């Protein structure tokens, strides 16, 4: 049992925004029509703008600078909206061995985990060519994983996620804003071809994680920020 809750049009926009600047208006199209608008106040938004999450629907909403500042205050939004933060960490020594991963019963090698306020627990999504599929399991092993990795207890509900990449033998664990996860799903939807995905989707995924690596800070499972990626990967665990 699974459900897709991430809108396809928004995923495509996020995937395209990651790869290139906004396109120029076409002939006959005004520059105002081509620009994105804040979905809270209808003001124009700049490239690289922030997002707000509608907690109930899990939908991302574009936010202008003024609305981002407003929703950055704790308690603003009445429990309905929450600003997506900018924190990105590469957790080089996160403890999640093969047994722990198998206990989560995720059927693929890439997934993201976040605390969902509407259901009152951590949930998991995994990306694919049709969007993001939500695991319907209760992730009973998550409390043990969190206990061994205190940084996971700092995830902001609904707007930050643990992104796990185990594809092709990689073992990477990232703490990211939830809109990065939406962008990852957008890559799958826009670049996947055929049964296996094709070469393009894996090239795009490599580019996604390379960019994420440039933007993320290395950290330990305790939440300590390190000076370099090498230092993060050198911490045992």
Which of 83, 103, 132 is a domain's end point? 83
The pLDDT, as a whole number, for residue 76 is: 72
Please indicate, yes or no, whether residues 118 and 219 belong to a single structural domain of this protein. Answer: yes
Structural tokens at position 50: 């922030």
CA gap 100, 56 in Å, rounded: 30
Please indicate, yes or no, whether residues 62 and 113 belong to a single structural domain of this protein. Answer: no
Domain with 32 in it: 8-83
The pLDDT, as a whole number, for residue 195 is: 83
Which of 67, 83, 99 is a domain's end point? 83
Q: Look up the pTM and report it.
A: 0.83
Please indicate, yes or no, whether residues 174 and 190 belong to a single structural domain of this protein. Answer: yes
Please indicate, yes or no, whether residues 65 and 109 belong to a single structural domain of this protein. Answer: no
Q: Which residue has the tokens 């300590």?
A: 224
Structural tokens at position 157: 């509900």
Please indicate, yes or no, whether residues 34 and 139 belong to a single structural domain of this protein. Answer: no
Please indicate, yes or no, whether residues 15 and 109 belong to a single structural domain of this protein. Answer: no
Please indicate, yes or no, whether residues 210 and 105 belong to a single structural domain of this protein. Answer: yes
Please indicate, yes or no, whether residues 35 and 135 belong to a single structural domain of this protein. Answer: no
Q: What is the dihedral of CA 156, 185, 205, 230, to 10 degrees?
A: 10
CA gap 123, 11 in Å, rounded: 19
The pLDDT, as a whole number, for residue 7 is: 46
Please indicate, yes or no, whether residues 132 and 179 belong to a single structural domain of this protein. Answer: yes
Q: What is the dihedral of CA 217, 223, 226, 231, to 10 degrees?
A: -100
Please indicate, yes or no, whether residues 200 and 117 belong to a single structural domain of this protein. Answer: yes
The pLDDT, as a whole number, for residue 190 is: 93
User: Number of folded domains in the chain?
Assistant: 2
Please indicate, yes or no, whether residues 206 and 111 belong to a single structural domain of this protein. Answer: yes
What is the chain's pLDDT, residue by residue, as a tens digit (237 residues)?
A: 344 445 444 544 555 455 444 333 344 434 444 578 999 999 999 998 999 999 999 999 999 999 999 998 776 777 899 999 999 999 999 999 999 999 999 999 999 999 999 999 999 999 999 999 999 888 999 999 999 999 999 999 999 999 999 999 999 999 999 999 999 999 999 999 988 888 999 999 999 999 999 999 999 999 999 986 554 554 444
The single-letter DSSP state of residue 156 is P
Instruction: Could you list the beta-strand ranges (E) of the chain.
Output: 50-54, 59-63, 81-83, 89-91, 110-116, 121-128, 131-134, 160-165, 172-177, 217-219
Does 31 fall in a domain?
yes
CA gap 89, 99 in Å, rounded: 24
Does 98 fall in a domain?
yes
């Amino acid at each position: 049992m699974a459900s897709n809750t991430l809108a396809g049009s928004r995923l495509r926009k996020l995937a395209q925004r990651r790869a290139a600047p906004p396109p120029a208006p076409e002939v006959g199209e005004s520059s105002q029509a081509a620009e994105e608008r804040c979905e809270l106040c209808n003001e124009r938004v700049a490239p690289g703008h922030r997002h707000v999450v509608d907690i109930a629907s899990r939908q991302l909403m574009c936010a202008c600078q003024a609305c981002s500042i407003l929703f950055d205050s704790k308690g603003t939004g009445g429990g309905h909206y929450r600003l997506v933060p900018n924190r990105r960490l590469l957790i080089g020594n996160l403890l999640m061995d093969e047994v722990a991963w198998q206990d989560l019963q995720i059927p693929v090698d890439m997934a993201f985990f976040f605390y969902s306020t509407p259901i009152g627990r951590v949930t998991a999504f995994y990306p694919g060519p049709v969007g993001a599929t939500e695991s319907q399991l209760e992730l009973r092993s998550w409390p043990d994983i969190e206990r061994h990795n205190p940084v996971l207890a700092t995830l902001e509900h609904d707007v930050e996620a643990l992104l796990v990449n185990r594809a092709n033998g990689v073992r990477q664990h990232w703490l990211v804003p939830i809109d990065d996860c939406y962008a990852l799903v957008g890559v799958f939807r826009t670049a996947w071809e055929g049964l296996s995905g094709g070469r393009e989707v894996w090239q795009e995924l490599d580019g996604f994680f390379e960019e994420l690596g440039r933007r993320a800070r290395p950290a330990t499972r305790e939440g300590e920020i390190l000076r370099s990626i090498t230092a993060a990967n050198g911490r045992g665990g």
